[in-house]
């Protein structure tokens, strides 16, 4: 009789373990099917010691980085990219974020230089150089300066070309008459390839960027 009782208890415990294992497998399948941060968080709360816990945390980390990258790209500011790198230094988007941070730094330097050279001259400078002599170089510069819109900076030319193909499909109306230009240049993180397109004027560059940024697309007017 005693042996029978022990057998029944062992059988019940085995059934419970099997049920728990089955429930854990079902919950893991549900989490991977949903593939959302909420699904993985719920799985980890329910099964913190599961053999799938490490995989759940890895998926959760990657999805969180993707979400934060989309937010940084939508904000499209230097501080947003810097915050992303601080939070996700080892994510697949980290290198891209660092390149864009550097791009903002270079764009800021160019803007500062342009502002300094176009500052209003002092009365003494005007007296020494009549207005007719000052305006001539400005007119020549306006003719020779080209306007571009930069759509991204990438670690390889192949990535820049791939991005252009995707953008062409995504924005057929805005980009249909434009041709890509890939400009290689040095950076703190090695050679980068900047994807840009030539536009007719500064106002055209501003208009294009306004349209693209509505869809969270990086867009920076530049001159060369």
pLDDT in tens, 163-190: 999 999 999 999 988 999 999 887 776 7
Mean of the pLDDT values across residues 134-154?
66
For residue 198, being part of any structural domain is answered with yes
Contact present, 184 and 195 (Cβ < 8 Å): no
Report field, pTM of the whole predicted structure over 0.75: no
Q: Is residue 163 part of a domain?
A: yes
Check which CATH number belongs to the domain holding 174 and give it.
Answer: 3.30.70.1070
The residue range of the domain holding 199 is: 87-115+146-223
- Return the SS3 of 91: coil
Cα torsion through 76, 77, 80, 85, rounded to 10: 90
Q: What is the 3-state secondary structure (H, E, C) of 25-79?
A: HHHHHHHHHHCCHHHHHHHHHHCCCCCCHHHHHHHHHHHHHHHHHHHHHHHCCHH
Return the pLDDT at 4.
62
47 within domain boundaries: no
Average pLDDT for 87-91: 90
The answer to whether residue 122 is domain-embedded is no
Mean pLDDT of 103-125: 52
pLDDT at 76 over 90: no
What is the pLDDT, as a whole number, of residue 130? 59
What integer pLDDT is reported at residue 224 of this predicted model? 73
Number of domains, the chain: 1
């Amino acid at each position: 009789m005693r042996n029978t009782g022990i057998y029944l208890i062992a059988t019940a415990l085995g059934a419970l373990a099997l049920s728990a294992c089955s429930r854990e497998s079902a919950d893991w399948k549900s989490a991977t099917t949903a593939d959302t941060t909420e699904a993985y968080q719920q799985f980890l709360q329910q099964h913190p010691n599961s053999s799938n816990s490490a995989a759940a945390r890895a998926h959760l980390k990657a999805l969180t980085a993707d979400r934060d990258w989309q937010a940084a790209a939508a904000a499209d500011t230097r501080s947003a990219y810097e915050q992303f790198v601080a939070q996700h230094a080892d994510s697949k988007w980290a290198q891209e974020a660092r390149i864009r941070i550097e791009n903002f730094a270079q764009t800021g330097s160019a803007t500062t230089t342009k502002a300094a050279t176009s500052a209003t001259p002092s009365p003494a400078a005007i007296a020494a150089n009549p207005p007719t002599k000052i305006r001539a170089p400005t007119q020549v510069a306006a003719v020779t300066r080209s306007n571009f819109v930069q759509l991204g900076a990438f670690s390889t030319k192949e990535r820049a070309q791939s991005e252009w193909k995707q953008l062409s499909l995504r924005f057929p109306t805005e980009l249909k008459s434009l041709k890509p230009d890939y400009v290689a240049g040095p950076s703190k993180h090695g050679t980068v390839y900047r994807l840009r397109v030539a536009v007719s004027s500064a106002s055209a560059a501003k208009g294009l960027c306004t349209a693209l940024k509505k869809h969270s697309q990086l867009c920076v007017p530049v001159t060369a």
